[in-house]
Structure 1
Amino acid sequence: MTTTTAPPVRRETPPSRPPRRTVWRRMRDDWWIYLFLLPTVLGYGAYTVYPLVASWWYAFLDWPGFADAGTFIGFANFELLWADDLFWNAFGNSLVFLAIAVPLRVGLALLLAIVLNKPTTPLRGLFRTLLFLPVVTTGAIVGVVFTLILDAGGPVNLALVKSALVDSPVDFLGSSGLSLYSVIGVWVWKWLGITLIYWLAALQTIPSELYEAARVDGAGPWKEFRHVTLPLLVPFLVVITLIDMVGALNVFDLVMTLTGGGPAFSSEVVEVYIYRTAFGATVPQLGYASAAAVLFGLLTMVLAVGQALGIRAARKAMT
């Protein structure tokens, strides 16, 4: 009886992976990519990174901006800023703007999105376009146009007087009690379209089967919104609100073109205060203005961190 031995099994060796390239090797091999990025990097560094870092250093200097170098005074600018009533007036106006404009913009955009999201709404594409047009319009141009619209002889006052709603024209931009709220109204009108797009995208994530099941159970429009739409939109509400809050702190162009911060500083926000202190005063105070910018930047950073945490919580709620 003969025995046969099986031929040895040849094991194929896996193909060797190419060695990983180091960062410097990738930069050397793909140098042309970084060449195209160079203008953007230089511009961003010169006009964003450098002013940001420099403002922190200037905040500790007594520097009018004309001298070659300022005098280091430590935290003196922040101490003066803490006791400056005009700064806290501007800071309070920014908070009032934030507290009124953001809920108004978010709530109004949600109502419009619910209406324009329904397939039965006529001309909904046209209305979406019309509501989004102010977003792509320059803020300074919007401010100039609304200065004419809200003027004593403008169309708004003419309509109010002819309809007998008021006896005399309303000074929307020249009254210390109305100027800030007039700016809020213009800001909400200008940026309503972008929040509307956010809500439309959020509404389209809700399955239509949920609405059909709610109608089978006898739910009306209000119950559909309360028990189906609103609970599913809560994660989006957090993100959209935080985005709009950051946007509400950047209203320099509208305030400057509409009221210039007046009358009597009634509509002056922190951005306008910084500009006026640094460039609009008889004796510019760039060091003092930089200290105000640092505090304003810290507030914006807090909101940015809150936005990141809100987005993370929203993602966890959606999964």
Structure 2
Amino acid sequence: MARTISPPPAVAPTDLATSGRRRRGIDTRRQTLWIWAFLTPTVVLYGLYTLYPIVASYWYSLVEWNGFSSGQRFVGISNYQAVLADPAFWSSVRITLVFMLLVAPARILLSLLLAMLLNSPKLPLRNLFRTVYFLPVVTTTAIVGVVMQFVFDPASGPFTAFLKALGADSGIDFLGDSGTALATAAAVYVWKFFGITMVYWLAALQTIPADLYEAARIDGAGAFGIFRYLTLPLLMPFLLIITVLTVEDTFHAFDLMQTMTGGGPFFSTEIIEIYIYRWAFSASIPQLGFASAAAVLFGLFVMVVGALQAWALVVARRGRKELS
């Protein structure tokens, strides 16, 4: 007798949709768990070594503490009053601003000119030149500072030998003279981070369509006319962003300045970061509360620059929309 095989029961479309959503939900949760599993070490380390010190510095700025004893005496805003009344603090602020004025315009303008040259498709080996100019960026800043001490050594440094070859009688102590130390450190800082600003400009230049340049040349525009009436207006939104990024970057020159000059000679290169470091770690009796108050004030200053950066981004987006 033949055996009858009944067909499988029909599955409603709603059941299939529910099963599919459930399966996608399980896959999404599994993927989220894996993401957090890989992010957890970074989040923990970032919290311990970045977020916690920032939060703790606000508390330390309100206490009197040398960093060694367990006792912390609450003094309120006395540390802030002492910092604001210290002439050395305002001297470090002035030096930081002068350093910024020396570095930022040079980095922005010189890197723009070089980026325009390296952006030309007619330039041979342009990728090689881009790599060469970017190499100082990836080198360790502290090592660069130590090497530059040797380079500018007034007795036997290569720069002194170069000056003597040009006819100079004796070497100049560029890092040991309070009149030249800050300018020398600024020049080294420009060279060290010149490549990153150049990359910013290269990215901005590559957003300009090549057809616009071709049309300008057909209309008889020269190199200067193309730069003035075409390139420069289209780069204005990027100029705001690059300027703010570069200015903010100049406020973080501690590692280079500390290894090159240590804030000397005669405090002529003591930027705010070195001022904070001196009170926190180099003083005979460390004053962590005082140093933390100075650090908080410096952080507020950087936050103002960050607000300017956000404003520059908004202005840049509006400018790009108007141009388009």
Q: Give TM-score, length-normalised by structure 2.
A: 0.89
Letter of the aligned partner of 2:88 in structure 1? L
Residue 163 of structure 2 corresponds to 160
Whole-Å separation in 1 of the counterparts to 2:233 and 2:187: 29
Give the secondary-structure state (helix, strand or coil) at the position aligned to 2:179. Answer: coil
Moved more, 297-306 or 215-224: 215-224
Instruction: Give, in angstroms, the shift of residue 204 of structure 1.
Output: 0.9
Residue 57 of structure 2 corresponds to 55
Matches of residues 243-262 of structure 1 in structure 2 within 5 Å? 243-262=245-264
Residue 116 of structure 1 corresponds to 118
Residue 7 of structure 1 corresponds to none
Instruction: Give, in angstroms, the shift of residue 311 of structure 1.
Output: 1.2
Residue 223 of structure 1 corresponds to 225
- 8 Å contact 1:246–1:300 — kept in the other structure? yes
Residue 265 of structure 1 corresponds to 267
Whole-Å separation in 2 of the counterparts to 1:62 and 1:318: 51
Q: 1:99 aligns with which of 90, 101, 109?
A: 101
Letter of the aligned partner of 1:308 in structure 2? A
Residue 4 of structure 2 corresponds to none
User: What stretches of structure 1 move > 6 A for 4+ residues in a row?
Assistant: 26-29
Give the secondary-structure state (helix, strand or coil) at the position aligned to 1:115. Answer: helix
Residue 304 of structure 1 corresponds to 306
Aligned residues: 305
Letter of the aligned partner of 1:264 in structure 2? F
Residue 44 of structure 1 corresponds to 46
Matches of residues 1-319 of structure 1 in structure 2 within 5 Å? 18=21, 30-152=32-154, 153-164=156-167, 166-319=168-321
Gaps in structure 1 of 5+ consecutive residues: 1-11
Instruction: Give, in angstroms, the shift of residue 162 of structure 1.
Output: 1.8
Whole-Å separation in 2 of the counterparts to 1:230 and 1:194: 20
Letter of the aligned partner of 1:172 in structure 2? F
Instruction: Give, in angstroms, the shift of residue 260 of structure 1.
Output: 0.5
Give the secondary-structure state (helix, strand or coil) at the position aligned to 1:112. Answer: helix
- 8 Å contact 1:87–1:270 — kept in the other structure? yes
Q: Deviations over 1:249-308 (max 9, x none)?
A: 110110011000000000010011111100000000000000000010001111111112
Letter of the aligned partner of 1:161 in structure 2? K
Instruction: Give, in angstroms, the shift of residue 32 of structure 1.
Output: 3.9
Q: Give TM-score, length-normalised by structure 1.
A: 0.90
Gaps in structure 2 of 5+ consecutive residues: 1-12
